[in-house]
Amino acid sequence: MDNRGKFTSNFGFIMAAVGSAVGLGNLWAFPYKLGANGGFAFLLIYIIMIFLVGFILIIAELAIGRKTKLNPVGAFRALNKKFAFAGWFGIVAAFLILSFYSVLGGWSIKYFFTYIMDIFGKGFGDLSGEAFFNNFISDPVQPLIFTAMFIGIIFFISIAGVEKGIEKSAKIMMPMLFFILVIVIIRSVTLPNAMEGIKFIFKPDFSFLSNGKFGEVIAAALSQMFFSLSLGMGAMITYGSYLKKDANIEKNAILIPLFDTLIAVMAAIAIMPAVFSFNLDPAAGPGLLFVVLREVFASIPFGDIFGAAFFLLVIFAAVTSGVSLLEVVSSYFIDEKKFSRKKSASIVCSTCFALGIPVSLGFGLLKDVKLPQLNGVFVNILDFYDYVGEYVLMTLGAFILCIVVAYVIKPKTIVMEVEANGNVFKSKKYWCFMMKFITPLLVLLTFLTATGILNFQLIL
Ligand code: PHE
């Protein structure tokens, strides 16, 4: 048990859990989806989905973790032997997501250093944002060195333990992330034409209510929410397993999505006005952060300093999420195989690095390799990992979690855990009703649409 550890304060837990939630998903997926799916209308639907699905699942995951004090595989097994496989989905998802996350985290580290060097005139040189980016990601070796650096950072945080590593680093990085974001927002909204960007993200477009796209907007909000809240793959079970008995799970289940959504909206306000101010393409994906923002930073005063600050923020967001992904698998080895923290983290980190090699090469040597999704579309290696981890395993894992909680162990098991230590579970009736009847259906809808089994015109 020595290797397990515990969060020392609820503030520390919140910072770590929000750290897991706030990641690349908030920074480049949310701003674009917000704009493309109806602006303020999408935000409203997103918030409603948090009440119908996110809040319900976070309570379930945290309570399962704290009750069993185990990793996802052990936790599901402790609830019901037949469902240990659901924990395995989480482990595989964590491996896949961490592998591509580390490659992207590595790119962010490279950009951070390049902006710093650019202050001294030695960074991007004469290359355009796009040429620099393409040269870098198609290189067979360089991105892998930065991937290794990213993995090294999360390795050292992890082996320092839950309290001294995960909790402490999140307590430093998350407030700093917030602070940098505020500064970038101030810069962004004071650029000429910034209002266009604000309009793009917030213009309330309710036309989907009448043009038959209602289901699509809901599905887009749901799939974004799953990834953003780190749900359905055991991250919240794992962090819940380090939570003290007197912590108020219900309150935490409100605070985590609140901060996650706040930061996602703030990221949108920080990025989109700048994109519009320079007449650039607001399209989603890595290009937005690495290529488009380069054009912005290249043309404003002190742009390199803002660029370096921005990529520091991206690194903080990616590291705190990466640490939680690593912890899902590490905790499995620690609990089940009785390995030391160091040995567990070493196994996971080296495997993720190995799995990250094809992802990285997928932008150079292996760029012609395309893998199939269930809807018949072929994608590159990174998108394939993302597809299997995020869209297939996380949503399926969440669906099985719903079934286990609602119909196998029954909601009262969770209710008792939330009420442990005399805590009052204010939304108990609402939570039980949703858990049994509404949430599982919405999660099933997410699984079917996100995987492409049910063919909506989704903007994923
Ligand atoms: N929530 C993270 C993001 O928004 C991703 C993540 C998924 C982290 C699953 C941990 C577990 O980028």
Average pLDDT over residues 320-337: 97
**From the CA of 318, how far away is ligand 1's center (Å)?**
8
The string of pLDDT tens digits covering residues 188-220 is: 899 888 898 898 888 888 888 887 778 888 888
- Global model pTM greater than 0.75: yes
**Residue 325 CB less than 6 A away from ligand 1:** yes
pLDDT of 424 over the 80 cut: yes
pLDDT at 3 over 80: no
Decide whether any atom of ligand 1 lies within 6 Å of the 98 Cβ.
no
Q: How confident is the model at residue 460 (pLDDT cuts 50, 70, 90)?
A: very low
The pLDDT value given to residue 166: 97
Burial level of 455, CB count in 10 A (0-12/13-18/19+)?
exposed
Q: How far is the CA of 300 from the centre of ligand 1 (A)?
A: 32
Q: For the residues 213-234, what does the mean pLDDT come to? A: 90
CA-proximal residue: ligand 1, atom 11 (nearest): 230
Q: Is it the case that residue 301 has pLDDT exceeding 50?
A: yes
As a whole number of angstroms, the distance between CA 240 and CA 63 comes to 7
Cβ contacts of 157 within 8 Å, gap of 6 or more = 165, 166, 169, 319, 323
Angle, helix 168-189 to helix 10-21, in steps of 10 degrees: 50
Q: Is the pLDDT of residue 83 over 80?
A: yes
pLDDT value, residue 211? 79
First to last CA, the chain: 41
Average pLDDT over residues 372-384: 91
Residue-wise pLDDT for 10-43, tens only, equals 999 999 999 999 999 999 889 888 888 888 889 9
| Ligand 1 contacts CB of residue 321 (under 6 A) | yes
Q: Which of 180, 149, 137 is nearest to 382 (CA)?
A: 137
Q: Which atom of ligand 1 is nearest to the CA of 24?
A: 12
Tell me the residue ranges of DSSP E strands in 367-453. 371-372, 378-379
Q: Is 21 in the pocket of ligand 1 (CB under 6 A)?
A: yes
Mean residue pLDDT of the chain comes to: 93
285 pLDDT higher than 80: no
What pLDDT does 450 receive? 87
Q: pLDDT, tens digit, for every residue of 47-69?
A: 999 999 999 999 999 999 999 99
pLDDT of residue 210: 81
Q: What is the pLDDT of residue 458?
A: 47
